[in-house]
Each structure stands twice: as structure tokens, then as C-alpha cells.
A and B are shown apart, each in its own frame.
Chain A
Amino acid sequence: MQNNSVKIAVLSGKGGTGKTLVSVNLASVAEKSAYIDCDVEEPNGHLFFKPQNVCEDEITIRLPALDNELCSGCRKCVDFCRFNALAFIKKRPFLFEEVCHSCGGCVLLCPEKALGEREKTVGYIKRGLSSKVKVSTGIMNTGEASGIPIIKKLLSGADSEKGAPVFIDCPPGSSCVVMESIKDVDYCILVAEPTVFGVHNLNMVYKLVSLFKKPCGVIVNKYFEEDNPAEEYCREKNIQVLCRLPFDNELGLINSQARIAAREKDKYKELFTSLLEAVMEEVQHETAANPQR
């Protein structure tokens, strides 16, 4: 654990709650850090960081490819596929690409060696530098069904910079892509709005991180009144409220123009620096309490 980077995921039950605001600003106030945008359907962290020296990697998946001549129509591949990605029509397997999980089982199983593999590009990853922040962005090609292969690749290189914290900007919601994004993190930050609707979404992600046994804390964004349903929920569930980000015109304006508040104004730098300290304290506390993690 000590040798690896601390990985912190930023989640919320819906879009527009403030995941990118929080993760971009936290990464900026950390002395040296990595920011990974796992919201591969609509990544926007790079708009804030405007990284330099960007290099691009294509992400491919493997799909079974049939040699019609060799296929005997035994149907073993179709019956084997637990994802039901193969149908058996007119004595030949027929692939539903978007249902296939690229497990390769059918290829291994085929007694006639009629199934080979072909590569398909599903998206790409851009890596660059913004000041001392290493910025990685996953981008899924339009029309693709799953961002999982891109997220796997994004996170596989997340340990490269020793000691520097890694901030993972998750996709909204609590689906498979979020699970993939948080499964190896040390801590989860749940961003919530102080409304009844916000609580509904907070509940979804809280259930998810509890399922994954991840320590977590809540950031109440767009905070404008002392008592609110989100904090009531946190009290009820005994979740720590890490910080309240004010319902602040200036912060909203800076953020809406894809500028990084903590890099522009001292008061925001202080706000996110103290938030980072609170988060790091929690992470230290958690790793000390559960050293096996």
C-alpha cells in the first residue's frame, strides 16, 4: 500500500452533481497527481486541464470470427456462451457484437478451430500533462455498448507515479462502468446535492460503495442552507460529510467556463486544499484501520 499511489474515486448518482468540479480541483491542489476521466461516454475533465504533449492509444477488443468453411454446425459455441451473444441460425453461429464480453470461451471450445479472433476498435485513451497533473481521458466511440474495456486500460496504468494521489472521475450512476472504476480504489468521495432528488441519487451510490466495502465520505455541493435532506441522510447512515461546497455564483461561473477554480482564486485553492487534507486524513485512517486493503 505505502509504495502505491492512493486512489480516490469521485462518484455521484447522477450527472451534473459536481464530480468533475471536485476531482479536477482536488487533482490541481495536490502537489503532484494523476487525474483519470473514466466517464468515457462524455469525458470533460480534459476541457478544464487542457493537457499538453498529448499521446493517444487506440483501445481494441477481441471478438470471435467465424470461418464458415471449417464450421461443422455443432453448436457448442452457442450453447456455451453464458452471455447469449451467439445465436444458432441456419446451422451456423451468429454473433451479436454488443452482447459479447470478449471472454474467448467459444474460440477455445470450438472443436473444428473454426472460430478465430478479430480486433475491433471501441475507443481511445489520451494522456497528457497539465502543470503537475497527469491527465488521462478515456473516450468511447459513438455507438459502442460498453466502456468497460477502455476503463480497464485507463486504470491498469494508474500506479505509475509513485506516491502521487490518483483521482478517478467516475461515470454518473451506479452501473457496471462505475463498478469497474471503483473496484481498486482506496476511498470513494460521493458528491451529492442537498435536495430530496440528491438523496435518492446519493443512496444509489452509497449502496454501491457499501457493497464494494469501500470507505467513503460525502461532499455536499451547491450547499445553501444549514439543514438539508442530504446531510440528514448522512447522519442517519453515519457517513462523514467531508465538506460543503457553497451554492456560489462565482464558483459556478468559473466552472461553467471549464476553468479550474483552485488555480485561479486563492479562496478556492484554500477550499480544495482543506478538502484534500480532510480526504487524505480519512484515507490514512482507513488504511491504518484496514491494512489488508
Chain B
Amino acid sequence: MKIAIPVDEKNPDSSVCPSFGRTPYFAVYDTDDEKTVFFDNEAASAQGGAGIKAAQLIADMDVDVLLSPRCGENAAEVLNKAEVRIYKTAAGTARFNIGEFKAGRLTMLSDYHAGLHGHAE
């Protein structure tokens, strides 16, 4: 199973990025070999539709689960249609959150926000 997390830095102990669509990188952890690979988020600099594009990248990588502090409506629609499950991250690093997810301590994210359109803090 592949687990994706938006991260601020390319390392397993990175903090989780508060933005899904505009995160600089994604960490993708594979439960089979317990390895983490990092990807640049091409959507980060998109003028619009960043959430849709980021969700597309996740779907294209055959990710099964996304761990994210929040998620926009459009991104959630892409992820839901692509059957990627979304869980809400807890405070802590990417590594910590993967552990929490595996231990079944994260809950599914269900409150999707409307577009921020450049107004994010």
C-alpha cells in the first residue's frame, strides 16, 4: 500500500505541509518495502486548479491513502473518484503520521474546504 503526505522538506522527519495543493513536495511511503520516495509537486506553482493537479499527481502514482491536514473540495473530488482515501494528519512529522496511520489512530478527513484561490495564510 502507498501512502502520500504533503511535506515541507524532502526527508522523513519533515513537518507536514499545511497546504495539499501547494505543498512543495510529496513523500510517498510504500508499506511493502517500507521505503519513502519524494516527489516535487508540479502543481505548487500552478496559477489555478492546483488542488486538482496535485490530486492528479497522487492518483497517477497509484497512491492508496493520502495523509493531509486539510484538502480542498476539487482535490477531494478527484481523490474520491480515483479511490484514494484521505486521512487527517495529527501534529508531528511525516514519519510520526505514517506510524499513527498504521496504528489506526488517524481519522478520515471529511470536511473539505472551498477554494482558497491565493488567499491562504
Contact = CB atoms under 8 A, between A and B. Distances in A.
Interface of A: 78, 82-85, 87-90, 94, 96, 99
A94 B80 CA distance: 13
Contacts, number: 40
Interface in B34-93: 43, 46-50, 52-53, 55-56, 59-60, 74, 77-78, 81-82
B82 A84 contact: no
A99 B77 CA distance: 13
| Residue among A84, A88, A89, A94 facing the most chain B CB atoms (10 A cut-off) | A84
A94 B48 contact: no
Given A94-B78, A94-B81, A96-B74, A85 B56 contact: no
Contact of B82 (A85, A89, A96, A99): A89
Sorted nearest first, the 6 A-B pairs with minimum C-beta distance are A84-B49, A84-B53, A89-B81, A87-B78, A84-B52, A99-B49
Contacts of B56: 78, 84, 87-88
B72 to A, nearest CB: 11
A99 B59 contact: no
21 contacts: A78-B56, A82-B47, A83-B47, A83-B48, A84-B43, A84-B50, A84-B52, A84-B53, A84-B56, A85-B49, A87-B52, A87-B56, A87-B78, A88-B56, A88-B60, A89-B59, A89-B81, A90-B82, A96-B52, A96-B74, A96-B77
Nearest to B43: A84
Contact of A99 (B48, B55, B60, B81): B48
Contacts of A94: 78, 81
A88 B52 CA distance: 10
Contacts of B47: 82-83
A90 B78 CA distance: 10
B60 to A, nearest CB: 8
A25 to B, nearest CB: 34
Interface of B: 43, 46-50, 52-53, 55-56, 59-60, 74, 77-78, 81-82
Q: Is the interface of B mostly helix, strand, loop or mixed?
A: helix
B59 to A, nearest CB: 7
Contacts of A89: 59, 78, 81-82
Contacts of A83: 47-49
Contacts of B81: 87, 89-90, 94
B54 to A, nearest CB: 9
A260 to B, nearest CB: 36
A80 to B, nearest CB: 13
A78 B48 CA distance: 14
A84 B48 contact: yes
Nearest to B48: A83
Given A94-B78, A99-B74, A87 B55 contact: yes
B76 to A, nearest CB: 12
A96 B59 contact: no
Nearest to A100: B49
A19 B50 CA distance: 34
B22 to A, nearest CB: 12
B118 to A, nearest CB: 10
A94 B52 CA distance: 10
Nearest to A175: B117
B114 to A, nearest CB: 10
Nearest to B75: A87
A99 B52 CA distance: 10
A60 to B, nearest CB: 22
A90 B52 CA distance: 15
Contacts of A99: 48-49, 52, 74
Contact of A96 (B43, B46, B49): B49
B77 to A, nearest CB: 8
